[in-house]
Structure 1
Amino acid sequence: MENHIEFTKWVVAQGVVINGIAAHRFPGRGLGIIAEKNLKAGEVILSVPIKALRTIHTVPTEISKHIRGKTTTHALLAAELCLDTSPQFDLWRSVLPSVADFEESLPLTWDQSLQDLLPAAAKTLLLNQKRKLKLDWASISTAFPELDYNDFLYKWMIVNTRTFYYLSSKAKKKPARDDCMALNPFADYFNHASHGCTVTFASSGYTITTEAPINSGSEVYISYGNHSNDFLLAEYGFIMDSNAWDEISLDEYIIPKLSEKQKEHLKDARVLGKYVLDRETVCYRTQIVVRMLVLPLGRWRRFVDGNDDGEGDQGVVDGYLEGVLEEYRSDVQVKLEAISSLDVGLDSQRDTLKRRWSQIDILLQAALDRLKR
């Protein structure tokens, strides 16, 4: 932990204010933040000024001037991590996750046969990552042909997993959300929980405040957002055993059952796709699409327009939905068997996939139990 101690001294010298917390290695769980004293609710435990951040505006001109055409903040920050050899940046790099950490956890680095067995929502996110990475590498490698792809990939993954949402006061117009990124020293030690400390961003920088009392010796969390485990797996490389915001997509089990005409009606009503099941219920959009599949069009319209509460048809709707969920559960078992038959990748990668599909199975079974009451 010596390098983390030295890094902490350095960030304090950059104006970061740390109150009662420290970087800590938790056995079997990696790095995080620990409370070094009893913390009260509403206590500010970390303040990071703007000047301590690495943003699109801190990328040295020796790097940015070589870029021809538009590129992303993500690409520029990754290039800076590759090319800036200043001693202070070396200290920051020394406390970042290793290549091996990412190879174990992030699906982007997994064998293709394991990627193919990801749940649909995670697979869609992964495909988007690959598209972004390809474009970013094209722009950066053109400017710096001497760069090694694997090194850029590693730094690109650091940016993808470690940045905070950042909106510069210098921006003339609000950029795309994917471009609102900043590397945030020390704050990036925090691990995620469904409900964690409050992170506030202002023109002065970031402030992290406790929401509830925290005992000395306990891990201190922030929330990365209200994300499902599929999102957390694809973007950050982990899943949670208990995730208040977990949900699963039903799109691949419902949309193929629709005729083109039915899809047009749903599109007109702005409810085509994004059908999800969470820990408590199926979403209202799913109620709408299942009614499209089982009811006459006129009755469906009355429900969508709010002229029919749908109670009279709920039994038929629930019966059809049971069939959809049973079909999904059957496929989950196929996925689990396929994962068990593979001998590629790491044991931990296959274990994560099995755990995710088992979580999905539990969500499906719980929904079926609710429908059958």
Structure 2
Amino acid sequence: MESKITSLVHWLNESDQFKLAPHLGVNESDESGRGIVLIDGALKKNEVIVSVPGTYQLNFHTVLHHISKFNRTLNIPRVTTSHEEIDEQEMSDPRYKAYNVLNQNFLLNLSSFQLLALYILAEWVLLPFWSHGRIKSFWEPFFAVWPTQEELKSFPAIWSCSKKSEYKHLLELLPSASEKHMIKLSKLMENDWAIISPILTEWDNLFRANAELPKNDELFEEFLHIYCIINSRCLYKEVPLKKHDLESQFTMVPFVDFLNHTQEVDVHCYPFKHSLQKDLYSLGPFTIKCGYHMYKLPGEEILLNYGAHSNDFLINEYGFVVKQNNWDSLDISKEVCAMIIDDAMIQFLKNNDYWEDYTINMTGISYRVVVAMSLAVTGDYKKTEKLLLGLISEDYFFPKIKDSLCVILLHLRKQFVQTIQFLERERDICSQNLLTIFQQYVEIIDRNLSRISK
């Protein structure tokens, strides 16, 4: 891996706009994977840690720009390239044939996920087959440091969608919050695959006579792998061509994607916002600066807060979990909703936007739980409405609902302990991630049971 990191930095240094703070290195560990560490020296507040020019980022604009080098029909101001004469030797590049099946309307209607997944499949997976290994993508040094399929096996959506996954049995153990997120991501993956797969079929028809190409099932596995790479490494960036699609507002930034997550907010490094469109054909540089935390210890890891995310979110979006996650909560919607069988009660809660999304965390029970359970236990609409209006305190209802709440929590605790006992026998990372989630759930329950019994 060290030689690949060296090649990546050498590639980035081909641009005089690339900046990297001195005395930084990339370290690899079993616990956190690859991460950026301080070798010696120190980093001060607002010092640039790394800045990557827009032309070395993968996003909707740069992908269209690179495709337009091989497709002269594309014409998008400040995005597509101005075409020059092409000699016969250049025309032997198979991408002229491949990318000319892509019309501008089709490309502009793709989401960022769909476009990047299609383009990366072409440049990383298919180009070596199309060219019989004689042509390498401009992005090859970036591709080379991406995690393997084996390294990304811990995403629940992979367990669900991949035919090769050995972890489908763990789907039954997913807590409800993780399961909901997994189902959402799986549907997005399957939908995006359905949109780009006709192009893959066209490419297969174009090249199969002259090359031994991956079969459709193999390409689907590569697509899942690429999708998880994009999803776990994309960073927020305004994309003007997709301004009405929030999910498409992102870029992928080499070297920056080595920064690992910290729970601490506004302490470590942070993205510095540049004005948009600083570079022709790109969205401008992406810069990370040092925050309040002064890095001065050799071997100290440089960290970036990904957001206030629970483990149910992290396992699905990034494939990892955090022990003692401050943002964890336990979703008890299923159990609370089961108490409310009266249609009028359900309608009342829906009308007041208090139906479902019932959670508890280390600091206590959410207000939504108190409202829903107060109505379910007492059947008193008038007093529940006063609770909603702030005219009655939660203290009035809590003695009435605490026994029912304890029953729910004790029932869940028993279930979780059984699941923990099963997962403790499994040593793989996927099972261990779930184990961490359930252990945290039990801690949340115990903290709340202790609080209720006082």
Larger % of strand: which?
1
- Give, in angstroms, the shift of residue 269 of structure 1: 0.8
2:362 to 279, 287, 295: 279
Query: What is the rounded CA distance, in whole Å, between the counterparts of 2:101 and 2:453 in structure 1?
Result: 63
Specify whether residues 357 and 64 from structure 1 end up closer, same or farther in structure 2 by C-alpha distance, changes over 3 A only. farther
1:190 aligns with 2:191: no
Q: What are the Cα deviations for residues 210-264 of structure 1, in whole angstroms up to 9, with x where unaligned?
A: 2211223200110111100010011111110132212221212212221222121
Looking at structure 1, the residues matched to 328 and 38 of structure 2 have their Cα atoms a distance apart, in angstroms, of 27
Length-normalised TM-score, structure 1: 0.91
**Distance (whole Å) between structure 2 residues aligned to residue 220 and residue 282 of structure 1:** 35
| Equivalent AA in structure 1 for residue 158 of structure 2 | T
Q: Distance in 2 between matches of 1:199 and 1:304?
A: 40
Displacement of 1:186 after TM fit? 1.0
The answer to whether residue 43 in structure 2 is matched with residue 39 in structure 1 is yes
Task: Return 275-284 or 69-78, whichever deviates more.
Answer: 69-78
Q: Is the 8 A contact 1:79 1:155 kept in 2?
A: no
1:73 equivalenced with 2:116 (yes/no):
no
1:294 and 2:377 are equivalent in the alignment: yes
Shift of 1:277: 1.6
Matching residue of 1:137:
193
Q: Which residue of 1 aligns with 2:130?
A: none
SS at match of 1:274: coil
Matches within 5 A, 1:90-169: 90-103=140-153, 105-110=154-159, 111-145=167-201, 146=204, 148-169=219-240
Letter in 2 for 1:165: Y
Query: In structure 1, the residue corresponding to 2:62 is in which secondary structure?
Result: coil
| 3-state SS, counterpart of residue 265 of structure 1 | helix
Contact 2:236 2:250 in 1 (8 A): yes
C-alpha displacement of 1:101: 0.2
Alignment RMSD, CA only? 2.2
Distance 1:78 1:170 in 2: 17
Q: Where do 1:54-73 residues align within 5 Å? A: 54-59=58-63, 60-61=67-68, 62=71, 63=99, 66=102, 68=106, 70-73=109-112
Q: Tell me the SS of whatever aligns to 1:262.
A: helix
Paired AA for residue 24 in structure 1: N
Contact 2:370 2:394 (C-alpha < 8 Å) held by counterparts: no
Gaps of 5+ in 1: none
The secondary structure found in structure 2 opposite 1:333 is helix
1:71 touches 1:136 (CA, 8 Å); kept in 2? Answer: no
Q: Matched residue of 2:28: which SS?
A: strand
- Taking the aligned partners of 2:336 and 2:397, their CA distance within structure 1 comes to 18
Deviations 1:10-42 (A, max 9, x none): 223332211143322235432011123322233
Matched, 1:362 2:443: yes
What letter corresponds to residue 194 of structure 1 in structure 2? Q
Unaligned runs of 5+ in 2: 72-98, 128-135, 160-166, 205-215, 277-283
Verify the 8 A CA contact 2:271 2:289 in the aligned structure 1: yes
CA shift digits 1:308-330 (9 cap, x unpaired): 12322222233332222112112
Query: Would the aligned equivalents of 1:199 and 1:209 in 2 still touch at CA under 8 Å?
Result: yes
The alignment-based identity, stated in percent, is: 22
Residue type of the alignment partner of 2:262: A
Q: What is aligned with 2:91? A: none
CA gap 1:294/1:29 in 2 versus in 1, 3 angstroms: same
Amino acid across the alignment from 2:270? T
Matched residue type, 1:47: S
Give the alignment of 1:245-324 within 5 angstroms.
245-259=327-341, 260-295=343-378, 296-324=380-408
Are the aligned partners of 1:22 and 1:35 in contact in 2 as well (CA < 8 Å)? yes
- The alignment covers a number of residue pairs equal to 367
Counterparts of 2:12 and 2:260, CA distance in 1: 19
User: What is the CA–CA distance in structure 1 between the aligned matches of 2:392 and 2:187, rounded to whole Å?
Assistant: 44
Higher-Rg structure is: 2
Q: 226-235 vs 330-339, which deviates more?
A: 330-339
Q: Does the C-alpha gap of structure 1 residues 190 and 182 become closer, same or farther in structure 2, counting only changes over 3 Å?
A: same
CA distance in 1 between partners of 2:347 and 2:139 (Å): 54
Deviation by residue 1:135-173 (Cα, 9 ceiling, x = unmatched): 1111111111136211222111111111111212444x4
Shift of 1:338: 5.0
Determine the C-alpha separation between the residues in 1 that align with 2:101 and 2:248.
19
Partner of 1:205: 285
Structure 1 residues 4 and 293, CA gap change in structure 2 (3 angstroms)? same
Q: Distance in 2 between matches of 1:371 and 1:349?
A: 34
CA distance in 2, matches of 1:254, 1:271: 12
Counterpart code for 2:300: S
Looking at structure 1, the residues matched to 326 and 179 of structure 2 have their Cα atoms a distance apart, in angstroms, of 21
2:312 to 216, 224, 230: 230
C-alpha distance 241-310 of structure 1, shift in aligned 2 (>3 A)? closer
